[in-house]
Amino acid sequence: MTIFETIVIAIIEGLTEFLPISSTGHMIIASSFMGIAKDDFTKLFEIAIQLGAILSVVVLYWKKFFPLNRWNFYIKLIVAVIPALVLGFIFSKKIDALLESPLTVSVTMLLGGIILLFIDKLFKTPTVEKEENISLAKAFTIGVWQCLAMIPGTSRSAASIIGGMQQKLTRNLAAEFSFFLAVPTMAAATGYKLLKALKENPELLKNKDNLIALGVGNIVAFIVAMLAIKFFIGFLQKHGFRLFGWYRIIVGIILLTLIYTGQLK
C-alpha cells in the first residue's frame, strides 16, 4: 500500500465506522476500485486502524469510561460484547471469506438502506433515556443484534443502533451505546487479528513501511472518527436515519450495476 492509499482507507474508516453505512463495506469497495491487493497486510491494516477509531470514542466520552469505579457500566459492555466474541471466533474463517466479496456488500448495503428508511417509524415510543437504565438483558440483546454486522456491508453501528432502539432506547442513547460497545468489540477483533498475524507471519510487523502505514492510518482514522461522531449525534437529533437509508440504497444499486457490467469484481 502506498501512503496515499493508506490515508484514503483510513479516512474511509474514520468517516464510516460510527455511521450506519458500513465501514468494512466501504473499505472493501475502495480497495477494489484502487486495485489494492488483498494480501495479508492489507487485511490486517483494515482491522488494525480501528484502534484509532476506538481511541476517538474514549477521548470524546472519557467521563463515561473514567473513573474506573463505574463497574456497572463496564459489566454491561462485557455482557454486550460476549455474543460477538463467541460467534466471531466460531465463524472466523467464513467471515474472512465474505470480506472479499463486493457482491455481499452491495446486497447488504441495499437491504440495510431499506430498513433504515422505516426505522424511525418502527420504534416511536422509546422509554430508556439514560445509560444507567439499560439493563443487562437489554445490553446482551443489543450485543446479539451487533452480530449481524459480521456480514460485510451490514454495518456494526447500524445493527447495534437498531438493536438499541428495538430495546426501547432513544435513538441518541442507542447511538451512544453503540459507540461504547464499539470499544471492547473492536479492541477484541483488532487484538485477535494482530496476534494471529504475528503468529502466522511475524515479518508483517517487522517491515518498516508496514509500521509507518499502521501509524499514519491510525492517526488519520482517529481524527476523522472524532469529527464523524460529533456530526452524527447532531444530525441524528434533527433528522433521524432516512438520509443514511437513501445513501445506502443508492450505493447498493450503483455497486450492483458495476458488478453486473463487469466493472467491479
185 three-class SS: helix
Q: Encode pLDDT of 59-100 as tens digits.
A: 999 988 887 777 899 999 999 999 999 988 787 777 766 666
Q: Encode pLDDT of 85-142 as tens digits.
A: 998 878 777 776 666 678 888 899 999 999 999 998 899 889 999 999 999 999 999 9
Q: How far is CA 15 from CA 8, 96, 174, in A?
A: 11, 23, 19
Closest listed residue to residue 224, CA positions, set 58, 25, 17, 48: 17
Residue 7 has pLDDT above 70, yes or no: yes
Element (H, E) at 114: helix 102-122
pLDDT of residue 200: 82
Q: Encode pLDDT of 204-262 as tens digits.
A: 777 888 899 999 999 999 999 999 998 998 898 888 899 999 999 999 998 899 888 88
pLDDT of residue 88: 82
pLDDT of residue 99: 64
pLDDT of residue 165: 94
20 three-class SS: coil
> Residue 78 is placed in which grid cell?
462485557
Check: CB of residue 119 under 8 Å from CB of residue 165: yes
Check: CB of residue 111 under 8 Å from CB of residue 175: no
- 69: amino acid identity, one letter: N
pLDDT of residue 59: 93
- 248: amino acid identity, one letter: R
Residue 40 has pLDDT above 80, yes or no: no
- 98-131 burial: b if 16+ Cβ within 10 Å, else e: bbeebebbbbbbbbbbebbbebbeebeebebeeb
Q: How many residues does the chain have?
A: 265
Name the burial class of residue 35, with classes exposed (0-12), middle (13-18) and buried (19+) by CB atoms within 10 angstroms of its CB: exposed
Q: How far is CA 138 from CA 53, 171, 178, 212, in A?
A: 25, 15, 13, 41
Q: Encode pLDDT of 158-212 as tens digits.
A: 999 999 999 999 999 999 999 999 999 988 888 887 888 778 887 777 788 889 9
pLDDT of residue 4: 92
pLDDT of residue 64: 83
Q: Please enumerate, as own/partner, the contacts of 29-33 that have beta carbons within 8 Å and a separation of 24 or more.
A: 29/102, 29/105, 29/255, 29/264, 32/102, 32/264, 32/265, 33/264
> Residue 27 is placed in which grid cell?
473499505
pLDDT of residue 11: 95
